Amino acid sequence: MTSLMTILIFLYAILIYKRYVPVLGIPFINLDNLDYDNRVIIDLRDFNISYKDPVKGAVNIPIAYLNRSIAEIPNREIYIIASSSLEKNLGIRSLRKKGFRVVGYTIYDTDTSIKVSKCA
């Protein structure tokens, strides 16, 4: 019984880590300072959010469809646009696991008039 409880706690800790612990080494980059020529921009926001406020030159692949659409992503440096820190963390970890190099991120804050915000 004790070993089962230990395994469950371990699995829960892994789940919490993957979702909520920030990914280290990936800098926040404002969209205004982004080099569009050398990077692939992936918008991880849901279709209904990104449709209302599109980002020029971004490929919209919601986080729920990322594993299914991984073959559509060119093998270049990737820049992530997400609507929350959770989306950012899951997206970066998924892309890194598949061998992609993520070089930056932006979190769009749709609740305020400021469209680009820095979050941990």
- At a CB cut-off of 8 Å and minimum separation 6, what does 105 contact? 26, 27, 28, 29, 79, 80, 81, 82, 88, 92
What is the C-alpha to C-alpha distance for residues 93 and 99, in angstroms, rounded to an integer? Answer: 10
Q: Which domain holds residue 13?
A: 2-117
Yes or no: say if 103 and 79 are a contact pair by the CB < 8 Å rule: yes
- Token pair belonging to 106: 């932006």
Average pLDDT for 37-45 = 90
What is the C-alpha to C-alpha distance for residues 89 and 2, in angstroms, rounded to an integer? Answer: 32
Q: Is 118 a residue whose pLDDT tops 60? A: no
Query: Domain total for the chain?
Result: 1
CA of residue 70 relative to chain centroid, distance: 13
Identify the band that residue 117 occupies on the pLDDT scale cut at 50, 70 and 90.
Answer: very low
Strand pairing report for 102-108 and 116-117: antiparallel
pLDDT attached to residue 30: 85
Stated pTM of the model:
0.81
We report the CATH number of the domain holding residue 12 as: 3.40.250.10
pLDDT attached to residue 18: 83
